[in-house]
Structure 1
């Protein structure tokens, strides 16, 4: 009897021991829920194990983090939330707040990458209200933000101009030189390779600037470092514009939002500067010393002698009608040569445009027509028809000119004195007239011929009138006889 009762008790106790546990009893599992029932894995731009090997993402590109949550317990998790310090606040989005038992859930965070290494520990939490417990899991995650960038500045120094062409007295196109200094700086977090500088505004191809020791590029530019390249250009005078362009690459392959591999882009930087090259003389031209301006000598109308009268004062004409009178040349140094009329002009002091002698040197010259008897073969009309250029302003007369008395009005100028004749010379007037005719200009000769033609017409008319009268007188004399 006692054996049967012990067997009954054992059959009742064994099923109770096989049960997972009852609520309220210490040590109960509550359907297998516990700290090891929740797990989380994270991928960054399709790359797993980002905590150990964070993928490279270009700064400014999109970062996509996917959090995969797995609940291996038999109890539902409520109020599920993911916290990641490396993600902007509120960036993680989950489709629901409940993770069913033996279920999965994926939360996603999308944001823009920033520079530098961004590693953090993400944490997921959920509550089991029936057990009054909070279950959590963690995962290490991160990415590296690749920041590549260039900055370019330039400064122009204008040099002295130099001649680059032209002929004759050094007159050529003057080109100036300008030295352009480019400063390139790496403000990224990765080294830059093969940085080249060009300038389309000045016609410089990439790699033309000298970056030191004859190198045409900066082989390696560390983060935060700067390098200087220079270029010398020659341009004509004027305003010019420089447009510098720097290019290089950090040679870092990054990952896109869907896990694709992206090659390193070419980084560029631009700058500009405006400079002006002044216009200067290309060389010293042959300088001619400035002297007194001379006027062409006036030619006489009828038998005029070029050169005028040679006075003792130098280059002046003695008073009109003073030829052959001793001392009549003094005091007229201010009258330009050739201003006196030619032989046959009635009164050379009265020619239009010639100033009175009194206004020149103080020596009074008699008015027009006061002296100057007509030379045979000449006439007053020819002298009036001759245009006389106005004389240039005379220089200051010498002191001896003030003491010379004016020529007498009765003295007549038969033939003007030549350059080599003085007032006391006794050269016959015929010789002087022949010399004057030899030196006569074409215009003066033409005018003289016209005057002679007019005089010949008068003679012919007189002959035509006198010959009939003479014949009539002869006939009348014969009748009376």
Structure 2
């Protein structure tokens, strides 16, 4: 009886102190002696409800190890597949009996669900035991991002009404926005400060000036038509949106969703109507004060012109004063070039019957055929000279003729109508001939001097 009373007196105080009983009962070291809890950015139970962390932000995982046994644990380590290798750091490798230890891992968040089972281990060398504890933890990486591209189509400027002022040109800018994140984006707006477009001023289809919801990986197209003066312009597109996801910071603070932006640019040029080449306008040939015609037929317009591109003659065979160089001789003779005022005009000859002018002489000027003495006298009249250069056939015919007209008259006639290009070519030929003469002089003069000196020495 006294023995049973003694046992009851020893058990009742232990039953009255429940907190003391487990500690006293943990005198062994076995399964369940090591426990581990994990928090992610200050949030517990991350295995069931993983917190959201913005991609690129810092993730802080804290592993709390508790040793409820009476034996020390050596070589304590934590392995977590969701953490980069070597990121978990523990202050020591020994966990004392009835003690606690906290290991920490810090790294950058990546996109998607990152949940895994962490495992903590420790050894009791004297008992040849390895204790382990596991806990499931993780986070969700929120990746929000926009990409914006644009393409410009230019329309040529026109003219308004009958006004000669150049109107502004128009350009159509097509913006393409893409969600390359892993969460839907809301209220996507596009603006362009370079073109003076406020956010939402573009046409995005059914949504008006904004895209209501843009799913991950999807794209939307918005357009804008602008009018600008001719010249070079620069477009600077800006897209903005939000995924409306609240995330957690390293110390457990709540972070609101940021405004996501994307930019693009393009340079385009609006041409002006004045820069386009004007249409060719026909130029009337220069006419003199009169012209010779067929016998008994007066001149219709007072000038005779050779149509542009005509290489043949327009004179009438056998008619005096036919258009061609044969008729020109009469005009020159009328002006006193042949030395006799009122020289008779030349009738059409074999080479001039078709109105073909003779060719050029050796100095680049056309040779005029002589006027026959038997031609009837005609009143002196000036002949209209066409503004177009003489045809090659005319020059070839002139080379076969024997001209007795004075060279001064021929030169005066040709110089009056050779034009700018003819003068330029003639000056080039004269310059080349002058250069040859100078080179010959430079060679012959020293040779003459050397010969004179050699003669003096021999004398």
- Normalising by structure 2, report the TM-score: 0.59
Cα drift, residue 136 of structure 1 = 1.1
Deviation sequence 1:29-80 (CA, Å, 0-9, x none): 9833221221111110011111111110000000000011111111111111
Taking the TM superposition and a 5 Å limit, the aligned residue runs for 1:64-103 are 64-103=60-99
8 A contact 1:313–1:331 mirrored in 2: no
2:206 corresponds to: 213
2:239 corresponds to: 246
8 A contact 2:334–2:341 mirrored in 1: no
1:172 corresponds to: 165
1:106 aligns with 2:99: no
8 A contact 2:166–2:273 mirrored in 1: no
Cα drift, residue 408 of structure 1 = 8.7
Taking the TM superposition and a 5 Å limit, the aligned residue runs for 1:295-310 are none
8 A contact 1:171–1:282 mirrored in 2: no
1:405 aligns with 2:376: yes
Q: 1:204 aligns with which of 172, 197, 216?
A: 197
1:271–1:235 distance in 2 versus 1, CA, 3 Å:
same
8 A contact 2:29–2:71 mirrored in 1: yes
Deviation sequence 1:269-314 (CA, Å, 0-9, x none): 112222233333599999986434568x8xxxxxxxxxxxxx9335
Taking the TM superposition and a 5 Å limit, the aligned residue runs for 1:145-184 are 145-163=141-159, 170-184=163-177
2: CA distance between counterparts of 1:42 and 1:34?
22
8 A contact 1:174–1:281 mirrored in 2: no
1:119 corresponds to: 115
8 A contact 2:147–2:263 mirrored in 1: yes
2: CA distance between counterparts of 1:363 and 1:315?
21
Deviation sequence 1:123-143 (CA, Å, 0-9, x none): 111111222111111111110
1:365 aligns with 2:334: yes
2: CA distance between counterparts of 1:49 and 1:268?
34
What is the DSSP-based 3-state SS (H/G/I as helix, E as strand, rest coil) of the residue aligned with 1:405?
coil
2: CA distance between counterparts of 1:281 and 1:65?
70
Q: 2:131 aligns with which of 122, 131, 135?
A: 135
8 A contact 2:246–2:256 mirrored in 1: yes
Taking the TM superposition and a 5 Å limit, the aligned residue runs for 1:343-362 are 359=328, 361=330
2:257 corresponds to: 264
1:193 aligns with 2:186: yes
8 A contact 1:357–1:365 mirrored in 2: no
Q: Which runs of 5+ in 2 are unaligned?
A: 11-24, 290-296, 304-318, 343-354, 357-371, 381-459
Q: 2:41 aligns with which of 35, 42, 45?
A: 45
1: CA distance between counterparts of 2:121 and 2:332?
130
Cα drift, residue 245 of structure 1 = 1.3
- RMSD (Å) for aligned C-alpha atoms: 4.0
Cα drift, residue 180 of structure 1 = 1.3
2: CA distance between counterparts of 1:212 and 1:138?
53
8 A contact 1:84–1:123 mirrored in 2: yes
8 A contact 1:122–1:141 mirrored in 2: yes
2: CA distance between counterparts of 1:124 and 1:284?
83
8 A contact 2:159–2:165 mirrored in 1: yes
Q: 1:291 aligns with which of 261, 284, 291?
A: 284
8 A contact 2:166–2:274 mirrored in 1: no
What is the DSSP-based 3-state SS (H/G/I as helix, E as strand, rest coil) of the residue aligned with 1:70?
strand
2: CA distance between counterparts of 1:88 and 1:272?
38
Deviation sequence 1:132-167 (CA, Å, 0-9, x none): 111111111110000000111112222243236xx9
1: CA distance between counterparts of 2:33 and 2:379?
149
8 A contact 2:333–2:340 mirrored in 1: no
- Structure showing greater radius of gyration is 1
1:408–1:133 distance in 2 versus 1, CA, 3 Å:
closer
2: CA distance between counterparts of 1:293 and 1:225?
72
What is the aligned length? Answer: 313
- Normalising by structure 1, report the TM-score: 0.57
1:121–1:359 distance in 2 versus 1, CA, 3 Å:
same
